[in-house]
Structure 1
Amino acid sequence: MDFNPDELPYVNPNEERRVALVTGGNSGIGWFTVLHLYLHGYVVYIGGRSFTRVSKCIKEIEEEANKRRSAVIEEDLNQRFLGELRFVEIDLLSLKSVEEAAIVMNATEPRIDLLILNAGVMALPYGLTKDNFEIQFQTNYISHFLLTQRILPLIQGRIIFVSSVGHHFEVTPFDRSWTFNYKPNIIFTWFRYAMAKTSGIQYMKLLSLKHPEIHSYSVHPGFVMNTNLFSYWTRLPIFGVFFWLFFQVFGYFFGCSNEEGSYATLKCALSPETLLEENGSYFKFGGKISQPSRVASNINYAASNWVWTVRELRNRGFEDLS
Structure 2
Amino acid sequence: MIYGPTATADEVLDGRRLTGKRILVTGVSSGVGVETARALACHGAVVVGAVRDLAKGAIAMEALRPDGSFRLVELELSSLESVRTCTAALLAEANPFDLIIANAGVMAVPFGLTVDGFETHFATNYLSHFLLVNQMAPLLRREGRVVMVSSAGHRGADVDLNDPNFERKPYDPLVAYRQSKTATILFAVEFDRRYRSREIRATAVHPGAVLTETTLKLIDAQPSAASAFTWKTVAQGAATSVWAGYVASADEVGGRYAEDCHVAEVNDDPTARAGVRSYALDAESAKALWLASESMVGEAF
Q: Same fold (TM over 0.5)?
A: yes
| Aligned pairs (5 A) from 1:160-309 | 160-170=147-157, 174-180=160-166, 188-212=172-196, 213-224=199-210, 226-230=211-215, 232-233=217-218, 240=221, 243=222, 245-251=223-229, 254-271=230-247, 273=249, 277-284=252-259, 286-290=260-264, 291=266, 292-309=276-293
Q: Please give the per-residue CA displacement for 1:10-45, whole angstroms capped at 9, x wherever unaligned.
A: 133xxxx21111000121111110011011111101
**1:47 counterpart letter in structure 2:** A
Q: 2:16 aligns with which of 5, 9, 25?
A: 9
State how far apart, in whole Å, the 1-side matches of 2:48 and 2:138 are: 17
State the Cα distance separating 1:192 from its structure 2 match: 1.2
1:143 alignment partner AA: S
Structure 2 counterpart of 1:53? 56
Q: Which amino acid aligns with 2:41?
A: Y
Listed as ranges, the gaps of 5+ residues in structure 2 are 267-275
Identify which of 145, 152, 155 aligns with 1:158: 145
Contact 1:176 1:305 in 2 (8 A): no
Q: How far is the alpha carbon of 1:272 from its aligned partner?
A: 5.6
Q: Does 1:34 align with 2:37?
A: yes
Higher Cα Rg, which structure: 1
After TM superposition, give the deviation of residue 177 of structure 1 in Å. Answer: 3.0
Question: What do residues 256-300 of structure 1 show as CA deviations (whole Å, max 9, x unaligned)?
Answer: 1111011100101121637x614111101x211103212111111
**Corresponding residue of 1:73:** none
The Cα shift of 1:178 comes to 3.3
Identity %: 29
Q: Report the TM-score, using the length of structure 2 for normalisation.
A: 0.86
1:95 pairs with 60, 80, 97, which one?
A: 80
Quickly say closer, same or farther: Cα 1:6–1:295, change in 2 above 3 A: closer
Task: Kindly indicate whether residue 127 of structure 2 is the aligned counterpart of residue 120 of structure 1.
Answer: no
Tell me the TM-score normalised to structure 1 length: 0.81
**Post-superposition CA distance 1:221-245 (Å, at most 9, x none):** 1111x2122355456xxxx4xx3x4
Q: Check 1:232–1:130 CA distance in 2 against 1; reply closer, same or farther (3 A cut).
A: farther
Decide whether the 8 Å contact of 1:167 with 1:194 is kept in 2: yes
Distance 2:219 2:286 in 1: 34
Q: Unaligned 5+ residue runs, structure 1?
A: 67-81
Hey, what's the Cα distance between the residues in 2 that align with 1:150 and 1:47? Answer: 15
Is this contact kept in 1: 2:25–2:49, CA < 8 A?
Answer: yes
C-alpha distance after superposition, 1:103-131 (max 9, x if no partner): 11112242011100000111111110011
Decide whether aligned partners of structure 1 residues 8 and 289 sit closer, same or farther in structure 2, where only a CA change above 3 A counts. Answer: farther
In the comparison of the two structures, how many residue pairs are matched? 280
Question: Is the 2:119–2:166 Cα contact (8 Å) retained in structure 1?
Answer: no
RMSD, aligned α-carbons:
2.1
More helix by share: 1
Which amino acid in the other structure matches residue 43 of structure 1? V
The alignment partner of 2:104 has SS state of coil
**1:44 matched residue in structure 2:** 47
Q: Distance in 1 between matches of 2:14 and 2:219?
A: 37
**Larger RCO (alpha carbons 8 Å, 6+ apart):** 2
**What secondary structure sits across from 1:277 in the alignment?**
helix
